Amino acid sequence: MSYSHLDSDWLDRVCAVLNPDIRNGRIQYFDDRALEPGDPWYREIADAIDHARVALLLVSPGFFASKFIVEDELPRIFRAIDDGLTVLWVPLSGKLYGPDAIPGSEKLSQRQAVWDVSQTLDSLNEQGTKRKLLELCKRVNRLLNPNVIPKRIPFPTLGNLFKGREAELARLEEHLRSHSASAIVEPQAVSGLGGIGKTR
């Protein structure tokens, strides 16, 4: 997460939307608030950028007023794009295009924002803001978990149908191999399998 400390309230709101996925391990998250006194802060931030798959940029006048962001973070983030980093920049506030754009915003003008830059978060009503933040969370999730099976499906996945019963299934397979000539599987040979393979 790259943000101006002047926008900490917006950072809190973005994190509130991401927190359920952070807690359940679907997202590994970093911002500079994780740093403890005595930590090598510059190296920690640089490592976070170098190992990230998604960079979230909370863009505002304060963002471009930060010398550290403009001179250190952004160039490092842009270099990491060649290594597969996806940059999602979020228009928080200010004019981000046209002749009256915030100085420095041209650095992002070649990259698509997560939504129309005229719809800065501070210009939306509460419902619109919540909708945009949820949209952002879903986008991050799709990027970080592209093959995750959705929750709340009405049937168990086939891959989990026999999960935890691998040893029993291996014994059954061995039994079937050793008695391949026999057409009937003896019930007592597969006791403890909860009925799998039993004949009546």
Q: Please tell me whether residues 100 and 182 are part of one structural domain.
A: no
Q: Please tell me whether residues 22 and 49 are part of one structural domain.
A: yes
pLDDT at 175: 64
Lowest mean pLDDT among 11-20, 68-77, 108-117, 118-127: 108-117
**What pLDDT, in 10s, does the model give residues 86-132?**
999 999 998 888 888 888 888 887 788 889 888 999 999 999 999 99
Q: Please tell me whether residues 15 and 104 are part of one structural domain.
A: yes
Total domains in the chain come to 2
Q: Please tell me whether residues 29 and 114 are part of one structural domain.
A: yes
Q: How many CB atoms lie within 10 A of CB 61?
A: 18
**What pLDDT, in 10s, does the model give residues 23-43?**
888 888 888 888 888 888 888
Distance CA 114, CA 96 (A): 13
**How far are the Cα atoms of 56, 92, 161 from residue 132, in angstroms, in the given order?**
14, 11, 37
pLDDT at 156: 45
Q: Please tell me whether residues 11 and 66 are part of one structural domain.
A: yes
Q: Please tell me whether residues 22 and 113 are part of one structural domain.
A: yes
Look up the pTM and report it.
0.69
197 domain residue, yes or no:
no
- CATH code for position 36: 3.40.50.10140
Q: Please tell me whether residues 67 and 132 are part of one structural domain.
A: yes
Domain residue limits at 176:
158-190
CA dihedral (107, 111, 115, 116) in degrees, to 10, reads 70
